[in-house]
Structure 1
Amino acid sequence: MITVGIFIYPDIQALDLAGALDCFGQANQELLAAGRAPYYRYCVIGLNTAPLFAENGLQLTAQYSLDTCPQLDYLVIPGGAGARTLTANQDFIRWLCQRSTETEKIISICTGAYLLAQSGLVDGLPLATHWRFAADLQTRYPKVQVNSTELYVNSGKFYSSGGMTAGIDLCLAVIEQDHGVAIAQAVAQELVMYLRRSGDQSQYASPLKIQHSGVQRFIQLQHWLLANLTKQLTVADMAEQVALSERQFRRVFRARFAMTPVQYLQQLRLDKARSLMLCDGYSLQRICNEVGISDPRNLIRLFNASFGCTPGEYRQHFC
């Protein structure tokens, strides 16, 4: 049996903790249902066993302190605002370095990356974190290869993920390594997750890039595009909506969002197509009509290129 230790601290992100616990706990349930023995034994570790509060106000209590923690096979370090503060705690950093020599996998979720970076254990190695904190993490720890785009990365025993839900994707990947795709898929389905979000997929969806920009005319453009996806839209149509020449629009859009207008429009179509795939009564042709893709073969090609599966295979993951 594998012992999974999950470290908690004041101002932890509760979802990072719950996501990891639910993934490994559900894996045990799926193994039992398959007639196999549970594989994961998990324990919650803190600096001490005094009650503490997560960022959302949830009160938590560790089962073990650093001094009483049993031997671990996997160590999970969730993120949270408190992670940046905890980097100054030399007792924890020393404990982390000591434990790393005997731990098979060390998994950081979101801003838990700050603690791994502070330890020096990942100097020269890739380390994923939430895109919002990537620049700060890289400035503080220039020896680390900060990855702000992929959902998760793995280098030897060190695993790291981007945002909170990407931590679940990472735990699913670890479960797949341990037990194969069938068990990992069963866990994903139980958690209503899409298993085949591989680590190299972007953690920053294209629609969010527009929404986060704060530029009102581009936000309005997004709304207009979503309302007109059934039409055959051109870059000239998009430029007209933001009152720019087509040439200027192409230049400004690419500089601001690191993609072309055509790539962005395609991502909007794919995002809506993914949602419609999960609706009863929607054939492939009907979905194509709803998202402005004329030929179902084009949608199949785009799905394979973007998600590594066909629309039908995508739908099966949720059945």
Structure 2
Amino acid sequence: MAKQIGIFIYPGFQPMDVTCAYDCFTEASSRAKNANKPAPYTVSLISETTAPVTSANGITLLPHQTLDTVERLHVLILPGGEGSRELIKQVNVINALTVIAKRVDKVASICTGAFILAALGLAEHRQIATHWRFAQQLQQCFPNCVVNEKALFVAQDNIYSSGGLSAGLDLTLHLIEQDLGTQEATSIAREMVMYMRRPGNQSQYSEPLILQTKTQGKLEKLTEQIIKHIQQDLKVSDMAAFVNMSERHFRRELMRQTLMSPKQMLEKMRLEYARDLLVTSAGLVEQIAHNSGFNSADVFCRRFRQHFGVRPSEYRVRFG
């Protein structure tokens, strides 16, 4: 019998959170039907009433069921969106969702849907993921939760939560993998033209992106210049010259804005660059070390393991 998937929509929901999950589950069912197998899922949109629901960007969807009429669900999906923080103030809606959540096998939030998950009391003393930009606000609103601002998604018992937007896709595929296996989940990811399937313990953001969001003024173009010259034996004087600063001023500003020394920042950039090469190329580890600016493959492997917890070859097997 098909598992019933319910996606709750409300004014100000994030369309991508809804459609990514919807598409993955329905794709799994379409593939099964094409193979003359029973559909594994039936997906429906649930809302407070049957009235059209307008998303944060103006897209309007029609719910299939209401909170009062929904029957058996196996999975309840709580998408994020601008309206999530307002929704948790609506006691009648939260109460109705709480009743439904107690009857389902799994509850999953996407992005700021974590606020709704927490409002239902399902994240008490649990680790919970959300979009990194809203992690502090979520922690302040629900101090009994353990907010993980880095993880793509977190799974504890039957409660699931993910970071922003595309991380919801990773979480949905994880749920499908639990039901249908790795091969089917990977095939669906390929059908969705995903670059790669990512496990929950992957970071929501990369080191270059972190630096780009932290640096200001003359340092704004630093990451771009480092990537452009990543293979070179870069000195502090080279990096200072990239941004037209003296070495002394460069060191001081970099530490002030990123809390890293030039050496620390450069090594993190090289390791992040190498990590991308491991999953996007077939080059040998020695070649990747060279292309990332490391003088020695041994040094590269040692630093990589210290930073990511696994050897480069193991990382490629897991995530490549």
Q: Please tell me the TM-score bracket, short chain as reference.
A: 0.7 to 0.9
1: CA distance, partners of 2:290 / 2:202 = 26
Residue number in structure 1 paired with 2:43: 42
**Is the CA contact (8 Å cut-off) linking 2:33 and 2:39 kept in structure 1?**
yes
The structure-2 alpha-carbon separation of the partners of 1:287 and 1:263, relative to structure 1 and needing over 3 Å to count, comes to closer
Deviates more, 1:267-276 or 1:154-163: 267-276
Instruction: Indicate conservation of the 8 Å contact 2:153/2:201, yes or no.
Output: yes
Deviation at 1:21, TM superposition (A): 0.6
**Counterpart among 273, 296, 316 of residue 310 in structure 1:** 316
2:265 corresponds to 1:265: no
Which residue pairs with 2:193 in the alignment?
192
C-alpha RMSD of the superposition? 3.0
Name the counterpart of 1:120.
Answer: 121
Question: How far, CA to CA, are the matches of 1:34 and 1:307 in structure 2?
Answer: 36
Q: Deviations over 1:143-177 (max 9, x none)?
A: 11111111000111110000100000001111111
**Structure 2 unmatched ranges of 5 or more:** none
1:195, distance to aligned residue in structure 2 (A): 4.7
* Matched residue type, 2:106: K
Name 1:19's counterpart in structure 2: 20
Q: Tell me the equivalent position of 2:157.
A: 156
Offset of residue 268 of structure 1: 4.5
User: Would you say the 8 A contact 1:254–1:260 is kept in 2?
Assistant: no
Equivalence for 1:222: 223
Aligned residue for 1:317? none
Rate the CA distance shift 1:35–1:290 in 2: closer, same or farther, 3 A: farther
Is the 1:3–1:73 contact (alpha carbons within 8 Å) kept by the matching residues of 2?
yes
Change (3 A) 1:116 1:253: same
Contact 2:279–2:316 (CA under 8 A) maintained in structure 1: no
Letter in 2 for 1:261: M
Q: Which amino acid aligns with 1:309?
A: Y
**What is the rounded CA distance, in whole Å, between the counterparts of 1:264 and 1:171 in structure 2?**
30
Q: Given residue 60 of structure 2, which amino acid in structure 1 is its aligned partner?
A: Q
SS in 2 for 1:229: coil
Match of 2:30 in 1: 29
Aligned AA (1:243): S
Output the CA distance in 1 between the equivalents of 2:145 and 2:83.
21
TM-score normalised by structure 2 residue count: 0.85
Is the CA contact (8 Å cut-off) linking 2:290 and 2:297 kept in structure 1? no
How many aligned positions are there? 309
What pairs up with 1:1-319 in 2 under 5 angstroms? Answer: 1-33=2-34, 36-235=37-236, 237-239=238-240, 241=242, 242-245=245-248, 248=252, 251-252=255-256, 255=259, 260-270=264-274, 273=277, 277=281, 284=284, 291-292=292-293, 302=304, 305=311, 308-310=314-316, 314=320
8 Å Cα contact 1:273-1:288 kept in structure 2: no
Native 8 Å contact 1:16 1:109 kept in 2: yes
CA contact (8 A) 1:250 1:260 kept: no
User: Offset of 1:13 from its aligned partner?
Assistant: 0.5
Q: Secondary structure in 1 aligned to 2:186? A: helix
Identical aligned residues as a percent: 33
Q: Distance in 2 between matches of 1:299 and 1:256?
A: 20
Structure 1 window deviating more from structure 2 (130-139 vs 52-61): it is 52-61
Secondary structure at the counterpart of residue 101 of structure 1:
helix
Q: 1:200 to 1:298 in 2, by over 3 A?
A: same
Change (3 A) 1:235 1:184: farther
2:223 is paired with a residue of what secondary structure? helix
Amino acid aligned to 2:119 = Q
- Report how far residue 79 of structure 1 moved: 0.4
SS in 2 for 1:150: coil
The question of whether the paired residues in 2 share the 8 Å contact of 1:197 and 1:307 is answered with no
Unaligned runs of 5+ in 1: 315-319
Q: Distance in 2 between matches of 1:92 and 1:298?
A: 56
